[in-house]
Amino acid sequence: MTPTLTPAWDSRRNPQTAPDFHSLGRAIRTPPTELSTGVDIHVKLSVRVCRTSRHVHHRPVDNRLRQFRRATVNPMARSSPFDVMLNPAVRLLWRSEDVVQLELGARAVLVEGVDSTFMRRLGPARGGAAVPAAAAPAVGDDAAGHSLTSLAAAGYLWPRVDPDGATDSDARLAAPQPRLAADLAALTARHGQGAAERLNARRHCAVAIHGNGRVAAHVAALLAAAGIGRVHLVDADDVRLYQAMPGGVGPADEGRRFVAAASAAVRRAAPDADTTPLPIGERPDLVVLAVDVPIDSDRRDGLHARGCAHLAVRLGADHGVVGPLVIPGLTSCLRCADLHRRDRDPAWSALAVQLTVARRHGAASDVALATVVGGITALQALAYLDGDEAAAIEGTLELQLPDWRIRRRSWPAHPDCDCGRTPAAQ
């Protein structure tokens, strides 16, 4: 039977999710809330089982990726298209005796013409070990093999790693640390076969956290836990009690140097993370500005002059703001946002100076709100570092209590700013 791939339901085309375009022309869509409501592709296979004496085992492998790039590795390129296993993140549901539904995140596919024996060959044994199969699953024609290759490219299938002959391509399919296995499985829902390469590339990224806002240490710990190789903090103050929050500095850290306490929080989340500053002359891949006051012009202009991408995050008593994410020379900058504020309020410049004065008793913030804002900040940082589209580019993501919705505000390039991103240059 010739396999057929027919597009069906796609969460990205859900009519209930209307696009919201920001200034770069990218569409931001609300993820669907429905589960198991449809499929993306429909695959029909003619399946048989071929006997073989080869036993397949899994073992951790070392990753040798040296630089970040978008994935170009085909996981099926160096192995038989039938020597595969299900992605651990895939949920398998039987619709009938020969039809299965494979779900990965909000996507799903239907596979017809399979039986329980074939699916057992694709799945792991109990306890997570490899299936000691005496037979490898095969399909009845080349077209069906191409369909399995398409499923692998979409992330539903992974090739098995042969301990006696693992290739470099196979090595790139493994998480760099065992603790990141769940993150790797989750990334395949969005990036398919490119997930492992993105996760491995995070090890070579460096992020600097400037400031001692309540979310600073929390964001640092989240990024390190997500696999960022080097996360270091830049601040000269001591920890104050109001800065304590889960995942960041704690009440017992009061009076310690903020950098030391925050670095300890990072190591608790990711013992393998490097918290030392970069050598002089090297710039980080991203700077997170976690301050509770408007960012001073010297720091803002210095980052822009060095060409450092930077992401601002700020907490208030009942609101949190993530962004803008600035890529010098390519996007609007923080000064553009200040000029837009000045256009709307002529007194903004005077107000901003007064807002930079630190409060005697610290900034007011809600700990639950701070946790959510820290998570959003980490997601935006990871999106940028992974090479994905970050919604905070030329915009801010804002959460205002008691409303639970995250709203996006656009901050396009200002005509009076000389940052290099002007409307005429777009």
How is residue 366 written in tokens?
Answer: 């809600």
Work out the pLDDT band at 401, boundaries 50, 70, 90: very high
Work out the pLDDT band at 201, boundaries 50, 70, 90: very high
User: Residue 338 — left, alpha, or beta (φ > 0 → left; ψ -120 to 50 → alpha)?
Assistant: alpha
Q: From 168, 124, 141, select the one nearest 48 (Cα to Cα).
A: 141
- pLDDT at res. 350: 74
pLDDT (tens digit, 9 = 90+) per residue, 13-47? 344 443 343 334 444 333 443 444 445 555 555 44
Cβ-in-10-Å burial (0-12, 13-18, 19+) of 375 comes to middle
pLDDT (tens digit, 9 = 90+) per residue, 294-324? 788 888 889 998 999 999 999 988 999 999 9
pLDDT at 105 > cutoff 60: yes
Mean pLDDT (whole number) for 73-78:
38
Higher pLDDT, 400 or 9: 400
pLDDT (tens digit, 9 = 90+) per residue, 205-222? 999 999 888 999 999 999
Average pLDDT of the chain is: 75
pLDDT (tens digit, 9 = 90+) per residue, 225-245? 999 999 999 987 899 999 999
Cα 265 to Cα 209, 224, 315: the distances in Å are 13, 10, 20
Superfamily of domain 205-425: NAD(P)-binding Rossmann-like Domain (3.40.50.720)
Helix (H) / strand (E) element for 384: namely: helix 367-385
Domain ranges of the chain: 11-176, 205-425
- pLDDT at res. 120: 79
- pLDDT at res. 11: 37
pLDDT (tens digit, 9 = 90+) per residue, 108-127? 888 888 777 778 777 764 44
Mean pLDDT (whole number) for 341-359:
76
- pLDDT at res. 393: 95
Query: Could you tell me how many residues make up the chain?
Result: 426
- pLDDT at res. 41: 54
Mean pLDDT (whole number) for 363-390:
94
Most confident option among 46-60, 132-146, 278-292? 278-292
Query: DSSP readout, 148-217?
Result: HHHHHHTTSEEEPPPTTS--HHHHTTS-SSGGGHHHHHHHHHHHGGGHHHHHHHHTT-EEEEES--TTHH
Least confident of 29-33, 147-151, 181-185, 235-239: 29-33
pLDDT at 248 > cutoff 80: yes
- pLDDT at res. 44: 56
